[in-house]
Amino acid sequence: MKTSFNIAVLPGDGIGPEVVNESTKILNAIGEAFNYTFEFTYGLMGAEAIFKTGNPLPDETLQICKESDAVLFGAIGDPSFDHNPDAKVRPEQGLLKLRKELGLFANIRPLKTYSSLIDKSPLKKEIIEGADIQIFRELVSGIYFGEKFTDDEAGYAYDVCKYNRDEIAPIVHMAFQEAQKRRKKLTLIDKANVLDTSRLWRKVCKEIAPEYPDVELDFMFVDNAAMQLILNPKQFDVIVTENMFGDIISDEASVIGGSIGLLPSASIGNENALFEPIHGSYPQAKGKGIANPVASVLSTAMMLDYLGLGQAAEKLRQSVEYAIENKYVTVDLNAEQHYSTSEVGSFIADYIKYSEKSYYNFENVKIGKSTIV
């Protein structure tokens, strides 16, 4: 069994470097606890790469990613680009290109509610308690990658949305296979009453469905799905959808759990994989030590699963749940008693190595007292 892994680390912009730092800290703790070795190779991407090289994805960074066992990514985006519609080079172009170059066709976003955080959600407890959803978003086709054109003089622009069968089938198979492991229900979200591309998605799903007779397949228009996620999220098990709909729906779903800082993601291809929190770069929090590292840390757990280190991944998730249940969290989850980004990361790393046999007084953590004995 392989025990040494080369991880490409792309801290990115805003709070990206801070949350990724906690993930690498925790990977080192995993290595110590399970006798694995993680070698980190760092690369520039996003606004930081533009500022330093003029390119949102330098060739050197792309090569680092291609030679790695997995890619750990922070966040992308900067206000100097967000508010400049004339900018020709943008940070997000680096991430889109990286997905395409690495063939990362499937983005997987799990949503799970934590009992101790249900009161942080804007939705009622009885609506969200027990919600557990896996969203599969196609990642390298559709309107984001279609032909684009702007005629400033005429005030005219278009973006083309295109799909073919070979771009749809692989992620549909992945979603069916995931549903088989869970509650055996798959929902395709589309707009088949209007869009030809959505009608193609439905056709491909119906053709594939007989290969998974134990999975119930249903369909939902995206506008209704956006409403149903708020009205009754527990009706969903596994969702599969195209690129733009998946981008929007998964961000909407993030509020169900109480904080966008909790949600991880994995972007998977045939030969490569990238793991990142779904939150943005949150530039207002940069350098303040208030960013929630949990989404990045849970993305790291998904990376451990991908690398075949299931026992380590489960220990990491248990450690995160322990921190959350005992309110060892950042300010977005507990305004009265909270800890810094690095303190939360250190707490999780320590629990991985020692569980309750550590220098933290875990009983005092539970009642909100000093944690060092």
How would you write 233-285 as a 3-class SS string? HHHCCEEEECHHHHHHHHHHHCCCCCCHHHCEEEEECCCCEEEEECCCCCHHH
- Rounded to whole angstroms, the Cα distance separating 204 from 141 reads 16
pLDDT band at 364 (very low <50, low <70, confident <90, very high): low
Whether the pLDDT of residue 82 is over 80: the answer is no
- Cβ neighbourhood burial of 124 (10 Å; 0-12, 13-18, 19+): exposed
- Is residue 84 over pLDDT 80? no
Which overall architecture, per CATH, does domain 1-105+269-373 show? Answer: 3-Layer(aba) Sandwich (3.40)
Look at residues 295, 271, 205, 280 and name the one whose alpha carbon lies nearest to residue 242: 205
- Distance spanning both ends of the chain, measured CA to CA: 39
Residue 370, pLDDT > 50, answer no
| pTM for the whole structure | 0.87
Split at pLDDT 50, 70, 90, the class of 372 is very low
State yes or no: is 247 an active-site residue: yes
Question: Residue 192 — pLDDT band, cuts 50, 70, 90?
Answer: very high
The active-site residue, picked from 25, 185, 191, 353, is 191
Q: Where are the domains of the chain?
A: 1-105+269-373, 108-262
Contact at 8 Å (CB) between 6 and 71? no
The pLDDT, as a whole number, for residue 180 is: 98
Q: Which two structure tokens, joined as six digits, stand for 363?
A: 């009983």
The mean pLDDT value for 326-334 works out to 91
**Is 328 among the residues known to form the active site?**
no
pLDDT in tens, 246-285: 999 988 888 887 777 788 999 999 999 999 998 889 999 9
On the question of a common fold for 1-105+269-373 and 108-262, the answer reads: yes
Which pLDDT score is estimated for 356? 62
Q: Which among 223, 288, 357, 369 is annotated as catalytic?
A: 223
Looking at per-residue confidence, does 313 or 337 come out higher? Answer: 313
H/E element holding 220? strand 216-221
How far is residue 82's CA from residue 80's CA, in Å, rounded to a whole number? Answer: 6
pLDDT surpassing 50 at residue 76: yes
Query: Percent of the chain at pLDDT above 90?
Result: 78
Average per-residue pLDDT for the chain? 92
Rounded CA Rg of the chain = 21
Catalytic residue among 82, 159, 251, 305: 251
Catalytic residue among 13, 78, 190, 247: 247
Question: What letters, b where the CB count within 10 A reaches 16 and e where it falls short, cover 200-223?
Answer: bbeebbeebbeebeebebebbbbe
Higher pLDDT, 303 or 370: 303
Tell me if residue 336 falls in helix, strand or coil.
Answer: coil
**β-pairing verdict for 273-277 and 264-268:** antiparallel
Concerning whether 119 is annotated as a catalytic residue, the answer is no
Listed range (35-44, 328-337, 343-352) with the worst mean pLDDT: 328-337
Q: What is the pLDDT of residue 221?
A: 98
347 in Cβ contact with 22 (< 8 Å): no
Does the structural domain 108-262 have CATH classification 3.40.718.10?
yes
